[in-house]
Amino acid sequence: MACLKLGSRADVFRKQGQDWYCTTGLPSDITVVVGEQSFHLHKFPLLSKSGLLERLIREKIEKGEDSCAIDLSDIPGGAKAFELAARFCYGVKFELTSSNVVHLRCASEYLEMTEDIAEGNLIAQTENFLTQTVLKSWKDSIKALHTCDDVIDLAEKLQVVKKCIDSVATKSSTDPDVFGWPVAQYGGPTQSPGGSFLWNGISTGARPRNCSSDWWYDDVSCLSLPLYKKVISAMEYRGVNQDIIVGSLNHYAKRRLPGLNRRKSISDVSNCLSVSTLTAMPSEEEQRYLLEEIDRLLPFQRGVTSCKLLFGLLRTAIFLKASSSCMSNLERRIGLQLDKATLEDLLITNMSESIEMLYDVDCVHRILDHFLAMDQETGGASPGIGEDGHLLASPSLLPITMVAKLIDGYLAEVAPDANLKLPKFRSLAAAIPDYARPIDDGLYRAVDIYLKAHPHLSESEKEELCRVMDCQKLSLEACTHAAQNERLPLRVIVQVLFFEQLQLRSSIAECLMISENLEGGSRQLGMPTSSEQHRGGVGWPLAARENHALREGMDGMKQRVAELEKECSTMREEIARLGRSRSTGKSRLFSLGAKPQICSTAKDATPAKATMASDDDKLAVVKADATPRLKLSRHKKNLSIEA
């Protein structure tokens, strides 16, 4: 720490209780009261250095007062600053350091210790030491700036705060080795073969340091919020990288807001506790104010602030009941980069007393709305459709596809909550556009978990919930599970079976086309003779193995189609039996004249799909008609012909 020794006389001050005495052998003729402390001093040393004390003493003498007592309780820096100023007036030895120079600079200004009163007075001494020594060192600049809080008004008026902030802001973006000793720069020390610094050819033993851009975070975090804000503003003015500034804000927030350290490791928490013992724990009101100020300092740019920090600030804001504008800003910041979040980030505990849900689903829905609005503004529109009817891939779809997968995982996580109402669940699931989900397996899993956790739902509510899914976008594994899922409505099961059959048909058709192409190609190439095979021809055995594998795959698919047809016929028989038992003694409620559209042939697939999606009457037709057996037999004949 920088130090300047002033004065030459031995110490003549001694303290008794709250009183200071000067042991020069002469009785004191003036008493200066500073707060609770009293200084029993002499007039001449004081008035020879201080213009203020000279004027006050003259007024006392002109009034003819016997006892000369002066109250200086409003002096900047308090009793400690006046003690050092009195030592300077008496010429007593003391040290001017970066920890007391600001207080002494303000106290000397208050006491009017100018060059007009005496040459080399305290104002000039403190100003020179501050400019030529303190501001050239990083640590001394931080210490001096830290002491400005007690005298902030006068320090700002004297430009002391501005000088310290400019010094800190300039040095924060520069290599810290430049401001220590030895100075590793041109004209400074060099390195010895062993790696240590050389100073004038002598090894100092100091090793070069590899400092990252965050080396100054911990030092700046000791500053109060008003001073810290000034430092950050000065750095932004000088063009410091936004990532570095956000990193400093993150470090400062974690040091001052205990709620951000709940998910840190044990070692990190112990470090935070050791730091917090140095200063008093801030109150909830102070934490709320600090959080809102950090929110104002954070840049509104995508990808600059990490999602983990933003979610931590949002949780803390909810806990501290911050202003609605603060929470709205944090939700918007998260929405700008929701595709970079994790499932753990979204699990925000519900703090509302009126709603008994475990997680704050409404907050996640608002964040999702911000993301979708941003996606539309940045041109992330729905994908185009190619000539073959398939969706065209686009790089802009990647973020929204990741968000869709994230929301499906979140729905599966919150679905077991018994207090989660169906409208909230369905609204969040339906908020994702259809093109954002290339496959609906994740959504089906969340719906199945919700149905399992809410067995009291009516049949109409189950059907309403299942409408958020697209049965055509389920994989074969999901279709197999859904066909045997007793929790799903009957309408959905029939749709799943129908679309699964269509998928198997298309798969078989593609395999047949590939097989025909391979066989045609082999016929064009010609059959190799046995002598050619023995001579090392490897193309024909490979094609034969591929044909064999394709045939096995087609056989498996045909067997699966047969199993599905058997299940479908069994289901129809059960439905018909239930219909006959319910219609005993009652009027028939269903028309028996329509034809079923479930297991129709390929050319009837389109009307079947329309019949499935129209209304409940068409499903009743499927249950009551007696013609499906004829359709099924025709269907099997067609399959055998195609095979």
Contacts of 542 (CB under 8 A, 6+ apart): none
Residue 80: its pLDDT value, please?
94
Contacts of 349 (CB under 8 A, 6+ apart): 315, 358, 359, 360
Token readout for 509 is 């058709």
Band (39; pLDDT cuts 50, 70, 90): very high
Residue 191: its pLDDT value, please?
45
pLDDT exceeds cutoff 60 at 465: yes
Token readout for 182 is 């030895």
Q: CA-CA distance, 101 to 4, in Å (whole number)?
A: 10
Residue 266: its pLDDT value, please?
39
Beta bridge partners of 13: 22
Coil, strand or helix at 386: coil
> Between these two residues, 203 and 63, which has the higher pLDDT value?
63
247 to each of 14, 216, 273, 400, how far by Cα in Å? 49, 11, 20, 27
pLDDT exceeds cutoff 50 at 182: no
Residue 642: its pLDDT value, please?
44
> Between these two residues, 297 and 542, which has the higher pLDDT value?
297
Specify whether the CB–CB gap between 512 and 642 falls below 8 A: yes
pTM, entire model: 0.69
pLDDT exceeds cutoff 80 at 148: yes
Band (619; pLDDT cuts 50, 70, 90): very low
Coil, strand or helix at 65: coil
Token readout for 64 is 């003819």
Q: CA-CA distance, 554 to 552, in Å (whole number)?
A: 5
Q: CA-CA distance, 388 to 594, in Å (whole number)?
A: 33
User: What tens digit of pLDDT does each residue of 221-235 get?
Assistant: 999 999 999 999 999
Residue 273: its pLDDT value, please?
42
348 to each of 305, 343, 518, how far by Cα in Å? 19, 10, 56
Q: State which H helix or E strand residue 235 sits in.
A: helix 225-237
Specify whether the CB–CB gap between 30 and 57 falls below 8 A: yes
pLDDT exceeds cutoff 60 at 584: no
Closest-CA residue to 432 (of 479, 387, 371, 473): 371
> Between these two residues, 604 and 372, which has the higher pLDDT value?
372
Beta strand 13-16 with 3-6 is unpaired
Residue 521: its pLDDT value, please?
52
Coil, strand or helix at 327: helix
Residue 537: its pLDDT value, please?
46
Specify whether the CB–CB gap between 232 and 297 falls below 8 A: yes
pLDDT exceeds cutoff 60 at 602: no
Residue 176: its pLDDT value, please?
55
Q: State which H helix or E strand residue 510 sits in.
A: helix 490-525
Residue 621: its pLDDT value, please?
36
Residue 489: its pLDDT value, please?
80
User: Pseudo-torsion of CA 266, 268, 273, 275, nearest 10°?
Assistant: 160
Q: CA-CA distance, 397 to 379, in Å (whole number)?
A: 10
For the chain, the farthest-separated pair of C-alpha atoms sits apart, in whole angstroms, at 138
Candidate from 153-157, 349-353, 639-643 with smallest mean pLDDT: 639-643
Band (569; pLDDT cuts 50, 70, 90): confident
Angle at 18 between CA 15 and CA 21, to 5 degrees: 40
Task: Indicate the average pLDDT of the chain.
Answer: 77
> Taking the alpha carbons of 521, 526, 530, 533 in that order, is the dihedral positive or negative?
negative
pLDDT exceeds cutoff 50 at 634: no
Tokens 């058709």 belong to which residue? Answer: 509
Residue 360: its pLDDT value, please?
93
pLDDT exceeds cutoff 70 at 624: no
Contacts of 261 (CB under 8 A, 6+ apart): 254, 268, 269, 272
- Phi, then psi, of 87 in degrees rounded to 5: -60, -40
Contacts of 566 (CB under 8 A, 6+ apart): none
Token readout for 463 is 């059907």
Contacts of 144 (CB under 8 A, 6+ apart): 98, 99, 101, 102, 130, 134, 135, 160, 164
pLDDT exceeds cutoff 80 at 419: yes
* String of DSSP letters for 541-574: HHHHHHHHHHHHHHHHHHHHHHHHHHHHHHHHHH
Token readout for 108 is 């000397």
Specify whether the CB–CB gap between 495 and 473 falls below 8 A: no
Coil, strand or helix at 515: helix
What angle in degrees, to the nearest 10, is found between the helix axes of 397-414 and 422-430? 160
Residue 320: its pLDDT value, please?
92
Q: CA-CA distance, 333 to 272, in Å (whole number)?
A: 27
Band (516; pLDDT cuts 50, 70, 90): low
Q: What is the mean pLDDT of residues 590-609?
A: 38
97: Cα within 13 Å, side-chain hemisphere = 9
Candidate from 71-85, 122-136, 175-189, 474-488 with smallest mean pLDDT: 175-189
Beta bridge partners of 95: 5
Band (558; pLDDT cuts 50, 70, 90): confident
Residue 587: its pLDDT value, please?
43
pLDDT exceeds cutoff 50 at 27: yes
Tokens 């395999």 belong to which residue? Answer: 511
> Between these two residues, 453 and 628, which has the higher pLDDT value?
453
Q: CA-CA distance, 285 to 262, in Å (whole number)?
A: 19
Taking the alpha carbons at both ends of the chain, their separation in whole angstroms is 91
User: What tens digit of pLDDT does each residue of 477-493 get?
Assistant: 888 888 888 888 877 78
Coil, strand or helix at 472: helix
CB atoms within 10 A of CB 263: 12
